[in-house]
Amino acid sequence: MTSRRGWTAADIPDQSGRTAVVTGASAGLGLETARVLAGCGAAVVLACRDMRTAALAAGRIRADAAARAGPGAAGVRVVHLDLASLASVRAAASEIRASCPRLDLLINNAGVMTPPYQRTEDGFELTFAANHLGHFALTGLVLETLLATPGSRIVTVSSRGHTGGVMNFDDLQSERGYHPTHAYWQSKLANLLFTYELQARLESAAAAASALAAHPGVVSTGLWQTSSRLERALISPRLRLLNFWIAQSAQLGALPTLRAAADPSARGGEYYGPRGRFDTGCPALAESSARSHDAAARRRLWEVSEQLSGVTYRIPASSGTSETSNRP
């Protein structure tokens, strides 16, 4: 139950016996999300691109969990995952399915923010591929395990930036012009369209899983490394006395994701974000843009994502299992 002070990590119930996969968990919001879940007793899989930093993060999480609950309090493992590579996504999903007999939480957290124009090995624009398409494929490829775990949740991290996003279905790969910020906004809108369409399909099948979304507000993390010098200066910890109202810590920024993942009262299709002014503070239900609820856009993005990723979701009604096609 949330107190007057607002929902915090102290409100998370015991997570013992539960398994969580957190993408991009080697730093920033993902690391904090994984750290808190492990500290509450969950077995956590860090799905990360850089295995060296992921191993260091795993060590920090183990030490923190041991300090809270004693040695061996929770298992922490690392899986290699490069969301910009569909081959890597398939390999990571295979490893997760083989090593996790149950999967209670899939936290789609990783992403890139306003990088220079790049193409992935699969030929996709990097921001769209890493922020949306890779998570779409990963979720579909581990969905069978999620559906076999009663009460499982898929939480996808979006952004307030989604409000400026427009799905350019005629040029999803930005071949006719690339603007880093617009590409980022589009990918964050895609995160919400995906979440709402997935939840609708899960509900229609009376499935034992739910899809939720969250946004962290403005947080000072490594994502800003590709932003302009002025933007990086504005959220710098050195200016904390001046920028406290526009940027918050990773500890606070992770709370909306943690609430969507672990609050017993949270429901599928909900979207959480900071409740305070300037998108800071403790998490609460948030409103997303009208575009994010466009049913036609939801379905179109889903169909395009299946075509591009080669991963087709099949959610049998009330069966508790799923079928996912992994086309070459």
Residue-by-residue DSSP string for 43-61 = EEEEEES-HHHHHHHHHHH
Whether pLDDT at 41 is above 50: yes
Whether pLDDT at 228 is above 80: no
Count how many domains the chain has. 1
What residue numbers bound the domain in which 210 lies? 15-315
How far apart, in Å, are the Cα atoms of 189 and each of 3, 198, 227, 291?
31, 14, 19, 8
pLDDT tens, position by position, 49-84: 999 999 999 999 999 888 876 665 569 999 999 999
Predicted local confidence at residue 275, as pLDDT: 86
Q: Quick check: is 313 catalytic?
A: no
Closest CA to 257 of 276, 270, 243: 270
**Residues 41, 65: Cα–Cα separation, whole Å:** 8
Amino acid at 258: L
Predicted local confidence at residue 127, as pLDDT: 98
Q: In which residue are the tokens 């899939």 written?
A: 106
Predicted local confidence at residue 325, as pLDDT: 64
Q: Name beta bridge partners: 180.
A: none
In this structure, is residue 140 part of a structural domain?
A: yes
Q: Would you put residue 54 in left (φ > 0), alpha (ψ -120 to 50) or beta?
A: alpha
In this structure, is residue 237 part of a structural domain?
A: yes
Whether pLDDT at 319 is above 80: no
pLDDT tens, position by position, 141-185: 999 999 999 999 999 999 999 999 999 999 999 999 999 999 999
Q: Who has greater pLDDT, 234 or 317?
A: 317
Render the burial of 142-155: b for 16+ CB within 10 Å, e for the rest: bbbbbbbbeebbbb
In this structure, is residue 327 part of a structural domain?
A: no
Catalytic entry in 117, 184, 272, 313: 184
Whether pLDDT at 221 is above 70: no
In this structure, is residue 5 part of a structural domain?
A: no
Amino acid at 314: R
pLDDT tens, position by position, 102-150: 999 999 999 999 999 999 999 999 999 999 999 999 999 999 999 999 9
Predicted local confidence at residue 126, as pLDDT: 98
Angle between helices 134-141 and 180-204 (to 10 degrees): 20
What is the length of the chain? 328
In this structure, is residue 8 part of a structural domain?
A: no
Residue 168's H or E segment, with its range, is none
Q: Who has greater pLDDT, 314 or 45?
A: 45
The answer to whether residues 318 and 206 touch, using CB atoms and an 8 Å cutoff, is: yes
Predicted local confidence at residue 4, as pLDDT: 55
The answer to whether residues 224 and 234 touch, using CB atoms and an 8 Å cutoff, is: no
Q: Name beta bridge partners: 105.
A: 20, 153
**Residues 58, 97: Cα–Cα separation, whole Å:** 20
pLDDT tens, position by position, 235-291: 344 444 443 445 688 999 999 999 999 999 999 999 999 987 778 889 999 999 999
Other CB atoms within a 10 A radius of the CB of residue 168 amount to 15
CATH (domain of 292): 3.40.50.720
Residue-by-residue DSSP string for 258-312 = HHHHH-TT--TT-EEEE-SGGG-SSEEE----GGGG-HHHHHHHHHHHHHHH-EE
**Residues 23, 38: Cα–Cα separation, whole Å:** 14
In this structure, is residue 1 part of a structural domain?
A: no
SS3 content of the chain, % helix, strand, coil (to 5): 45, 15, 40
Alpha-helical segments (H) within 117-249: 126-128, 134-141, 143-147, 180-204, 229-234, 240-243
Mean of all residue pLDDT scores within the chain? 89
Determine whether 119 is exposed, middle or buried from the number of CB atoms within 10 Å of its CB (0-12, 13-18, 19+).
Answer: middle
Predicted local confidence at residue 322, as pLDDT: 61
**Residues 24, 31: Cα–Cα separation, whole Å:** 7
In this structure, is residue 195 part of a structural domain?
A: yes
Q: What is the pLDDT averaged over residues 2-6?
A: 64
In this structure, is residue 36 part of a structural domain?
A: yes
